[in-house]
A and B are shown apart, each in its own frame.
Chain A
Amino acid sequence: MRRNQVAVVGAAETTELGVVPNASQLQLHADAALNAIADAGLKLSDIDGFATAVETPQQVCHYLGIKPTWVDGTSVGGCSFMLHVRHAAAAIEAGLCKTVLITHAESGKSMIGKAPRSIPADSLQGQFEAPFGVYGPPSMFPIPVLRFMKTYGITHEQLAAVAVVQREWAAKNPRAMMKDPITVADVLNSRMIAYPFRLLQCCLVTDGGGALILTSADRARDFPRKPVYIMGTGESVETPMVSQMETFNSSRAFKTAGPLAFKEAGIAHKDVDHLMIYDAFAHLPLFGLGDLGFMPHEETGKFIADGNTRPGGKLPLNTNGGGLSYMHSGMYGMYALQESVRQMRGIAPAQVPNAKISVCHGVGGMFAASGTIVFTNER
Chain B
Amino acid sequence: MAEPQRARPKPTPETQHFWDGTKAGELRLQRCDACAHVYFPPRPFCPSCASRKVSIFKASGKGFLYSYVINHRPAAPGFTPPYAIAVVELAEGPRMMSNIIDCPQTPEALELDMKLEVAFQALDDKITLPVFRPAKG
Contacts and interface: CB of A to CB of B under 8 A. Distances in A.
Contacts of B87: 143, 242-243, 248
B69 A128 contact: no
A150 B113 CA distance: 10
Contacts of B83: 133
A131 B112 contact: no
A142 B73 CA distance: 13
Nearest to B75: A135
Nearest to A243: B97
Nearest to A194: B69
A119 interface: yes
B11 A135 contact: no
Contacts of B107: 195-196
A44 to B, nearest CB: 41
Given A191-B72, A195-B69, 20 more contacts: A126-B7, A126-B10, A127-B19, A130-B7, A131-B9, A132-B86, A132-B98, A133-B85, A135-B71, A138-B73, A139-B69, A139-B71, A139-B85, A140-B85, A143-B85, A146-B112, A147-B66, A192-B82, A196-B107, A248-B67
Given A126-B7, A139-B85, A197 B97 contact: no
A144 interface: yes
Contacts of B67: 143-147, 248
B96 A133 contact: no
Given A122-B12, A128-B96, A133-B85, A194 B70 contact: yes
Interface in A215-262: 241-244, 248
B41 interface: yes
B7 A121 contact: yes
Interface string B68-81: 11111111111100
A39 interface: no
B41 A124 contact: yes
B68 A133 contact: no
B71 A133 contact: yes
A24 to B, nearest CB: 25
A108 to B, nearest CB: 15
Nearest to B19: A127
Contacts of A133: 6, 71, 75-76, 78-79, 83, 85, 99
Contacts, number: 123
Given A146-B112, A243-B97, A131 B8 contact: yes
Interface of A: 119-122, 124, 126-136, 138-140, 142-147, 150, 191-197, 241-244, 248
A321 to B, nearest CB: 24
Given A133-B79, A244-B41, A122 B69 contact: no
B95 interface: yes
B72 A195 contact: yes
Contacts of A136: 74
7 contacts: A121-B7, A122-B12, A134-B76, A143-B67, A192-B72, A194-B70, A197-B69
A128 B112 contact: no
A119 B69 contact: no
A144 to B, nearest CB: 6
**Quick one: which of B10, B11, B73, B77 has the most chain A CB within 10 A?**
B73
Contacts of A139: 69, 71, 74, 76, 85
Contacts of A144: 67
B60 interface: no
B18 to A, nearest CB: 8
Contacts of B77: 135
Contact of A128 (B9, B73, B76): B9
